[in-house]
Structure 1
C-alpha cells in the first residue's frame, strides 16, 4: 500500500489530528484510499476529525475516519498564568442588565460616574411628558475594558437609549457621520514614519454626550437612578445620548465646529482627516468617532492642540499611539510597526484552534470550492463569525486577503468543505502569528501601485479576481482582492479591468497625500504584467478588442492621457499583486509574501 509520491505533508499530524491508517494494515471499506488525496479538493474533503470542542467545526461523522480506528489526538491546551486565573476567579464577567450589576461595588461606581458625566454636561432636563410624545427607554450596558495584553483596565457602564423605537421625521432626521478608513490610518502612519514624526492618541470621554440635538427627544429615567417623588416625569434631551440614531452625526458636527474654530481644515477626499498648515509646521488629526490620532513636525503645535481640546471636552491623553482599533502599534527610531498579534490569538481561541498544528500557506494551490457539493451543511452563524474576524485581521495581513475573500463567497450556506478551507487559514495564522508591516524611517516617500488579475478563476460563473496593492515608501498601505463584476473574454480584458480599479485608487491616494502634506500631486506609476492590456490603456481608439468592454472601465485611458498615472510593464516574477489573485504553492507564496512587504514583527515586552 503506497501513497502518492506527489503528496506532501508537513508532519505525521499535518492535518491537525487526522487519522492515518498504518501502511501494513489492510484497507477497510470505511477508510478512503490514499489516492483520494491526489487533488486539492479531495484533500479538503477527506481530512480527519476536528477537535471535539471546537465551536467553529463540529464533525459528528467524519467521512475519512474509520469507526474502529478513531483516536483522541486532542492537543494539550497549555497553562494559564496565575494572574489570569485570579482574574477569572475574581471577575464574574459583564452583567447583562441592571439587576445583575446592582450590589457590586465596581459596577455601581461605574454607573454613578456615567450619571455624573451626563449631568455635568447638561445633557438633559427633568420635565413632564408633553401630550402626543412617546418617551424612549434607556438601558444600562456594561463592559470590562482591557488593554492589548488582555489585562483589565477598568469597568465601564454606559447609559444607552433604545433608539430602535425612533421614527424618521419625528425624532430624528440625518444620521450619517464619517469615520477614517483604516487605509487612511496606515497612510498617515507610513507618512509619519518616513518623516520621523511621533503619533499621539487622544480619547474623548462620553463623546456622544457633546452632540447638540435639533429635535425634541424625551427619555425615561434610568433604572436605579429615578428621582424620588418625581418618578412619573421624563428627561428632555438637549444633547445626544448613546443609542440615538442621530447621536453619531450630532457629535461629528460638534467636533467639526471645534476643529474649524482651531483653524484646522477638513480634507475634501477624506472627511475624517483635518490638517493645519503654517509657515514651518504641519499638524494632522485623524478621527474615528471619539479616538483622535495627532501627528506633525512640531511638538509645540501638538501640545497646543491637546490643550485646546481639553478646554472644550473631557479628554484622555493616551500618549504615544500603541493600540488603536485592534492594531498594535510600535514606534521607534527605525520606524513604525503595526500588527494584530493578540487579535489573531483571540480568533484562534474563538475557533477552538489555539493549540492546532500550524501550516505554511493559507490555501491549497488550485483549490476549487463550489456552493453545492456532497458534504453536509454546517452552522452558518459560526462560519460567518469567523469570516468576519478574519476579514478584520487582513488590515495588517494582506497575505490572508485572497484566501479570506475566497471563503467569504460561501457564507450563505457553508458546507464542510468550506469550513475545512477556513480551518486551513486558521492553521496558517497559528504558524505566522507575529507577521505585520514595518513602515521605515527616511526614504523618498514615493507612491507606486501594482495591478494583477486571474482570468476566469471561478469555474461557476467564469469571473476573475482583481488584485491591487499600493506602496508608500516601499511599504504597502492599501490592498484589494475582489471578484470582478463582469466576465472577461480574455486575460487582456481581465488585466484591463483590474488596472482601472487601480487607477481609481491611485487618483484618490495621490490627491489625499497632496492634501495632507500640502505638496503638489505627483504622477503615480502602476505596474502591470500584461503588455496587451498596457497597449489597450494607451490606445485611445475603440476597436474590436475593446468596444464590448463596459464604458466605466475606460476611465484609465483618460487618466493615462492626462498623465495623472503612468502604466509600466513588470515581469510576472516581480508582480507583487499576484498573491492577491490566486492561491500559490508554498515556496512561491513565501517569496511573494516577502515581496508584498509582510514581515516578522518582534512582540513587545511591555
Structure 2
C-alpha cells in the first residue's frame, strides 16, 4: 500500500479500527517485541493491505486491514533458509463437498480474522515501526519478530485464531451452491462479473468455446496485443475452470501464448467470453459416491516431446494414474476404499503397454518415470 493511501486510511475511523484490530492480535499472540536494533542488523519494512470483505450478494460487510512484511528484501541464508506454502487443492474441496452431500451433512463456513504461521522464527528478523502507530517514547526502536508474519519466508504450519461462524455454507470461492439430491456448484455470478469487467455484457454469443477445426499457432507475423489485458483475461478464466470443465481445453490452449499474445489469440479468448455469455449458468454436480466413481479433469500440455501417438497417450495415462492415486489417498481419510479404480483409455497400444510387463523396442523411448503406471496395475490400484 502506497504511503499516500495509508495516510488516507489513517483519516478514516473504519480503517483505523481495522488496523487496530490487526495489531491487537499481534499483541495477544506475542508476535513481536519492541527492541533496539542490534549493530550490523537491518530492519525490514512493512506495508498495509486493505480489503473490503463482501458477502455472497456483493455487499461490504466489514473492512479488513492486513499487515504484511516486505519479505522480498530478505536474503536467503541470512534471513531465511526455505520457503513453504500450504495450499488446498480445488479437488480436495470438491471431494469434501461430495462426501458431505452423500452423508447428508450440514456444512458451515467460518471467517478467519487472523491467521499466523505457527512455528517460532529461529532467525533474527526485525521490522520497522508502523507509520501512524509509532511508540512516542521509543520511536528509534524496531520490532523483533518472534513468530512468522505474513510476507516473511519462514512459514511452515498454519494456526487459525479468532474464528467466527458465518452460518451454513453458501458461497465458497465465489461459487453458489444449490442443493437437490446433491450439491450443484455454479459460478454464474462470477461469470457475470468478468463479462462486465471485460465489457462482454452486450456482445454476440458463440455456441462453442473454440472455433472448430482451427488450431492456435504462434502466428508471429500478426499484430501484438496488450499482454497485461490478455493475461488478466486468462487468469479470470482459469479460476472459472474450477466449475466449468467445458472451457478447460480452450482456456489452456489460449494460456500457452501469454508471453507474446497475438491478435488471433485474443480473438480466441474473446470467443470463450462470448460462449460464457450464451451459457452463464452452467456448473458442476459434486456427487456421486453411490456410483463408486471418481470424477476429475485436467487439461495440460505435456512437458515431453512424444515421437509417437502411443507415447503421448501413455504419458497422459500415467499422469491420470497419479491423480487417481491422490484421490484414493484422500478417500481413505473418509473411510472409502476406491482401489482397483477403472481408467478409460482410448488407445489400444497404450493399454497393451500398461498390461505387458516386458520392455521392448516399442517402449525404449519412454522415460522410466512414466512406467509406474505398470506397477499400479499389477498391484490392482487401477
TM over 0.5: yes
Q: Which has the bigger relative contact order, CA under 8 A and spacing at least 6?
A: 2
* 1:503 matched residue in structure 2: 321
Please show how residues 122-271 of structure 1 align to structure 2 within 5 Å.
Answer: 122-208=30-116, 211-246=119-154, 248-249=155-156, 251-252=157-158, 255=159
| Pair 1:316 & 2:164 matched | yes
| TM-score, scaled relative to structure 1 | 0.59
For residues 528-569 of structure 1, the C-alpha deviation after alignment (integer angstroms, 9 at most, x for no partner) is 22333322322222334333333333322222222221xxxx
Q: 1:203 to 1:155 in 2, by over 3 A?
A: closer
* 1:328 matched residue in structure 2: 176
Q: How far apart, in 2, do the equivalents of 1:423 and 1:440 lie?
A: 32
Q: CA deviation at 1:424?
A: 0.1
Contact 1:354–1:430 (8 Å) recurs in 2: yes
| TM-score, scaled relative to structure 2 | 0.92
Q: CA deviation at 1:418?
A: 0.6
Secondary structure at the residue paired with 2:123? coil
Contact 1:149–1:342 (8 Å) recurs in 2: no
* 2:201 matched residue in structure 1: 354
Q: 1:424 to 1:132 in 2, by over 3 A?
A: same
| Pair 1:340 & 2:187 matched | yes
Runs of 4+ in 1 over 4 A off after TM superposition: none
Secondary structure at the residue paired with 1:495? helix
Secondary structure at the residue paired with 2:68? strand
Q: How far apart, in 1, do the equivalents of 2:45 and 2:276 lie?
A: 43
Q: 1:125 to 1:522 in 2, by over 3 A?
A: same
Q: CA deviation at 1:425?
A: 0.4
Structure 1 gap ranges (5+): 1-93, 256-289, 291-312, 448-471, 566-606
Q: CA deviation at 1:423?
A: 0.2
Contact 2:118–2:147 (8 Å) recurs in 1: yes
Q: How far apart, in 2, do the equivalents of 1:173 and 1:550 lie?
A: 33
| Pair 1:428 & 2:275 matched | yes
| Pair 1:483 & 2:330 matched | no
Structure 2 gap ranges (5+): none
Q: How far apart, in 2, do the equivalents of 1:530 and 1:127 lie?
A: 67
Q: CA deviation at 1:333?
A: 5.3
Contact 2:187–2:243 (8 Å) recurs in 1: yes
Contact 2:328–2:337 (8 Å) recurs in 1: no
Higher Rg: 1
Q: How far apart, in 1, do the equivalents of 2:97 and 2:193 lie?
A: 25
Q: How far apart, in 1, do the equivalents of 2:79 and 2:29 lie?
A: 21
Q: How far apart, in 1, do the equivalents of 2:379 and 2:11 lie?
A: 69
RMSD of the TM alignment (CA)? Answer: 2.3
Work out the number of aligned pairs and report it: 381
* 1:545 matched residue in structure 2: 362
Q: CA deviation at 1:519?
A: 4.3
Q: 1:96 to 1:524 in 2, by over 3 A?
A: farther
Q: CA deviation at 1:210?
A: 5.6
Q: How far apart, in 1, do the equivalents of 2:3 and 2:105 lie?
A: 42
Secondary structure at the residue paired with 2:143? strand
Q: CA deviation at 1:102?
A: 2.4
* 1:446 matched residue in structure 2: 292
Secondary structure at the residue paired with 2:43? coil
